Amino acid sequence: MMKIGNIYQQAKSEKRPVISLEIFPPKRPTGIETIFQTIDKLTAKPDFISVTYGAAGNTLRENKTLEIASRIKQDYGIEALHHLTAIMNSREEICRIIAEIKAAGIENILALRGDIPKGACDFPEDFQYAKDLIAEIARSNQFSIGAACYPEGHIDQKANRENIKHLLEKEQQGANFFISQLFFDNQAFYDLLDESRKARINVPIAAGIMPIMSVSQVEKMIFFGASLPVDLIKLIHRYQDTPEDLQKAGLEYSINQIDELIENGASGIHVYTMNRPIIANTIMDRYKAK
């Protein structure tokens, strides 16, 4: 088994991109088995699978992240990336969670700030930013640490220069690789790479891709701050009344994005599957199956 930072190094020597998938703990217990049924049917293994941390304030046991990540690694031999959020957790709680992750054999953590729940007014402030959590995790020298980056800037940031400044700070605190927020215009990702390299940010930066699968999903994209290119808007309009055609067209749009990113040397492609088997299977069939 291998830490994700080393996976990127190996993939670079092999002149190939790292292909990874993201899933989230289902709200219903039966949904967990659906995740593993999807993994069972994959024709090829992704380089790693990331598991989101769930709602802010939930305990590690409540959101099932560690259980799912452990099974991915132990039962399927696939490296797991355990998400962990800083907001709403005290230093003591973070140290306990990190210890549990390590005890379960997980060697990779995606360190995120997280969002403050609406109405929350009394919560721990030991970790105000992702960089603070990264520094805490890095102290143990036991994990490969991932962090988030934003091709179009974080929705709370006023200027793009803040975006690059924060990336550099995360790397300096111990981030080994970055995974980008979703985007639909590849030029935004290329611009991020260019600005990052100018700032001497040298760790791998993976492109985060989320296929459009429904009209209702588009509203969430706006919430995340992702802009929609004209071609994609026209595609959504064309198929908005035929859900199956929209799914097919949305997945095809993402595949075209990925093809171009790989052709232009992207070090990693991270696909937000939304727990949909069709996304996981299509991506693995195309980019990993031999």
d(CA 174, CA 176): 6
| 178 burial level (CB within 10 Å; 0-12, 13-18, 19+) | buried
Residue partners of 123: CB distance under 8 A and separation at least 6: 57, 87, 88, 116
Taking residues 23-29, report their average pLDDT.
86
Q: Which residue type occupies 151? A: P
Measured CA to CA in angstroms, residue 5 lies from 59, 79, 262, 268, 287 at distances of 27, 11, 19, 12, 20
31: Cα within 13 Å, side-chain hemisphere: 12
- Give the pLDDT score at 67: 93
Quick count: other Cβ atoms within 10 Å of Cβ 177? Answer: 26
Instruction: Band the pLDDT of 123: cuts 50, 70, 90.
Output: low
What is the tens place of the pLDDT at every residue in 68-92?
999 999 999 999 999 999 887 889 9
Is the pLDDT at 61 greater than 50? The verdict is: no
Mean pLDDT of 35-53: 93
At 55, the pLDDT band (50, 70, 90 cuts) reads very low
Q: The tokens of 174 are what?
A: 């111990």
Average pLDDT over all residues of the chain: 89
pLDDT tens digits for range 87-115: 878 899 999 999 999 999 999 999 999 87
- What's the pLDDT score for residue 1? 66
Residue 187 CA to residue 192 CA, distance in Å, equals: 9
Please tell me which residue in 22, 79, 107, 136 is annotated as part of the active site.
Answer: 22
Tell me the mean pLDDT in the region 10-33.
92
User: 216: helix, coil or strand?
Assistant: helix
pLDDT over 80 at 122, yes or no = no
With beta carbons less than 8 A apart as the criterion, state whether 93 and 124 touch.
yes
End-to-end CA, the chain: 21
Quick check: helix, strand or coil at residue 284?
A: helix
Q: pTM higher than 0.85 for the full model?
A: yes
Q: Is position 22 annotated as part of the catalytic site? A: yes
CA distances 117 to 57, 219, 223, 229, 251, Å, are 8, 19, 15, 31, 32
Contact between residue 85 and residue 116 where contact means Cβ atoms under 8 Å apart: no
pLDDT in tens, 202-247: 999 999 999 999 998 887 777 777 889 999 999 999 999 999 999 9
Q: Across the strands, what pairs with 108?
A: 144
Under DSSP, is residue 70 helix (H, G, I), strand (E, B) or coil? helix
pLDDT band, residue 163 (cuts 50/70/90): confident
The average pLDDT across 154-171 equals 76
Query: Which residues neighbour 281 within 8 Å (Cβ) at sequence distance 6 or greater?
Result: 38, 41, 42, 43
Q: Domains plus CATH for the chain?
A: 4-287 (3.20.20.220)
pLDDT above 90 covers a percentage of the chain that reads 73
Residues counted in the chain: 290
